Structure 1
Amino acid sequence: MLKVMLVDDEPFTLQGLQVIIDWESGGFEIATTCSNGKEALKYLSENQVDLIISDIRMPEMNGLELLETIKREKISDAAFVLLTGYDDFAYTQRAIRNGCLDYILKPVIEEELISVLKKVTNLNRESIILRKDREKMEDAYLARIIRHFIKGKYNDEDIEYANKHLQLSGNLRFVDIEFVNRDIEIDDSDVDEYDMAIMQRQLYNACKEILKEFANHFTLDITYDDDSYNVGFIFCDTMAVSSDMSETEFLNALIRKIEVLVIKPVRMLCGEPVPDISELSKSFDSCRRLKSIAGFHNKKKLYFYEEIQSGHGSFILCKDTIDEIIGAIEKNEAVMIEAGIDKLLEELQNKEGNNRAFDLNINYLLFQLIHLASELDDTVNQEEIIQYISEKTSDKAFRRGSHQHLKKFCLEYAVYLSELRKSISRGILSVVEAEIKKNYADNISLKDLGDKYHINSSYLGQVFRKNYGMSFKNYLTNYRIKEAAKQILHTDKKINRIAEDVGYKDSDYFIRKFIEIMGCTPSKYRKTNRGE
């Protein structure tokens, strides 16, 4: 309901206005009545209304003075309508120049009042659309600024914008918030990108609802790989201090509140603390490294990067055995890999503090695998290898900690390294390009393409990123949006229909992606480029 204020010094006029029409059926409610401009200003100082209908001639403060005061002091954004007589035309002209929406002649006729209310309704509807578009643009722009910091490619304007729109004080961390065991609970073959995006949006909205005062600190699409549907969070230690909590207490409390709203378990991975926003990329990179090995640790809800960096006391590293496993992986010798894993696990079972000893040795193995891939192909970026390891440690069975799945990981990694040595990238990419052009509106994924063309999907993703400078998911999204832009310009289809045509079931999600890539809403893109 739109709230209405009636202002007139004649009680009979106020009574008549309240009964002349059915306000509620038109979507309005009378919030208050006032007898002069001063009473109206007092009410507006503490309350908001959407429409003010005021007489011109009143004692103490007339309607024109009321309008001018509201506009000058920016007291309210409500639409303003004057009640006037034929001899008030000069006042009416002055009011229109000061932003008065319309005027109604006395005595008020029902049809004229309804006509003005329809105008207010349409104006309010347009205002809501514009506000939502503006909010989406602001969210998309802030997300872009945050990505600049994460990549370490920012400028002074980015710093100024971030300091204005984020509450940055004390040390910062990049925190990854994600669903726990997503792939255990959900069969990905039955869930498309839209469904995962809906889950991600629910997680995002829950975070913003819980920490309203820090809502801008949460962002979408800061992902490590094509299958990530996480939420990024810029945490400042002053958040915990202001709540009279430790950092761990604050984040654990946030996890519990999120889980209540999304009705699913979540976890947080916290990158190393940095002194200011300019070093956010360090925290983000450490969060990636933490994610890549979290699957090898005891399962919990909250991880800190410092935990994997801290010393492990007197625990012994089974270096010789791990080096044997590394050698077998390099040669892709499956039997030797399995034997090496069995030997490592047997050695670890005989050590005190078995869990921490396991963590130490697995960390060493993982970092050696990263180094091995870089040695085999000096064009390979270590961060891309970390991305691969992150994908594999997110595997649903691997998360359960079975030793068989440690074997499975090492065997698959050996195959992965073997494929790194092959020079097949250009041929397979041309096939993938053709698939995208033909089936871009369908739910296609790297896994599907890998299975179809008998190639490791993680390797395919790395080749794709190396050749196009972006992930497969981002390439597909860009292609879909560019195809949508063509339809927006050359057809009169509705935006939601175009969204469906290019593979998006949710028009809001489509609009957000369109803004990120094209820099404006689809409606504005159509108007601007058509000259409408």
Structure 2
Amino acid sequence: MLKILIVDDEVLERKVLSRIIGSSSDLVKVIGEAPNGRTAIEMAIELRPDIMFMDIKMPGIDGVQAVKEIRKFNPEIRFIMVSAFNTFEYAKEVMQQGVKEYILKPSSKKDILESLNRVSKEILEERKRIEEHQHLKENLNLAFSIAQKEWVSSLLLNQVKDITFDEWGQLFSVEITSGFIALFSLEAHEGTELTTDELQSWHLWLSETLKIVVKKQEIMIGPLNTNQIPVLVLCRKGTEKSQIKISMQSNIERIFTFFKKESFKGHLKIGIGRLYSDEKDLNKSYHEAVAALKQLSNQNKRYFFLEKQELKELPSQSAIFEFEKELLDAIRQGDVNNVLYIYDSFISKFNEKTSVLKRLLDEIFILILRMLHDLGINYQQVPLFTETEELIELVEKGKTYLLEVVQNVQVWRNIHASGILHNAKEFIELHYSDQLSLEQVSEYVGISPFYFSKLFRDRFGMTFIDYLTGIRITKAKEEMNDTQKSLKEICFSIGYKDPNYFSRVFKKVTGKSPTEFRKTAQVHNY
């Protein structure tokens, strides 16, 4: 409903305009009448109309002056100027205020309604554009939020190979040259446990707080895993390393200030990895953040930056990354023999470095839990190591844990995964005509898009998009048997919005355009 305000110093003119407009359409409504420019300004402030019919020549503040004043506080109002003076100077003056419509007294009903319809159409089209833009923005924000979690998860598992600082910079519209990982942990008060709802509430709080606190750095917030949240902090070009650390310290202090005002049943701790200028090294920063977080258990601090000297006893990072990648892949496949082989081969390189191995196993177990969570496997057990355990005890405890994990994965792959993929295929077959996405299907079956995509390809030998396309093209072929249906109708009925795109996809799959295919089918049927 568009609100109309009529301004004219002649009562009869106001009544005629009001009657004509009021009976013209259900889309418009006259909400008031003003006898002069001053009253028009006051009523515009109070009633906020969409359109104002404004007489130009009025005593006191005239129509042109009133338009100028109203535009100062509400430039969105559209004006239709009404005047008995058909002069260029009047028209020129109102046109300078952005007014496009100018009608002469006495005005015919046809002129009034045509002018009103043009302005109304312009307003409604602009509102539609704004609404579509907002809807697109919301969808992009949702997609970007999902992508952030997937990127950060993949990064921590050392599986991101094809995204660079330049590409991240394009997403944020700034030049990114370095980054690091900050690992946030909410540890329950002694004698208490944090519920899933409390942890999810904390995750939401942290996401919102970081957006408020972190300036001149872009952040990507990872998924909640047990009680930890990894955050990728990306740094802009031209920022000195010393400035980055000082800025991060200031941000962290502000985060703790906000945290004190909340009622979370736990202690907030933060481990920060080192800054890297090569995106391939961000996985190192994550491991350093894990190590920094562990240092806090031995120190009376709330956060800790892992500096270079703390890394002396760590083995080769490349060896660790390769071990993690191979082990996680083997676990995901449920390959118990390969898991044990990879584990034993890696352990044999450590000799007597018990403390180092203990730290590394803790890290890999966290990654395993993250992977299980993404797969939808509810397995929360983690082996607890004591300070007095010998190397051999440590190794055996780790091996026992890995065997338990693999058994759970095997059960999931044999039973649950089959059920998931069956449900996914049913969902796709039921909703193929919608604007269906990988994220929607993965959310429906309850696992992350990243692992749903891998699982789908592993099991069926094709991607989700290939499978969806195959269903749509098959349905299109069936629809083409109905000669009463146009190709455009068929295109829309199977989930495509663009007939040209549908035609390209159809030809790529079948080798023929939709038109050629339909002709061939008709000849064959004949």
TM-score normalised over the length of structure 2: 0.47
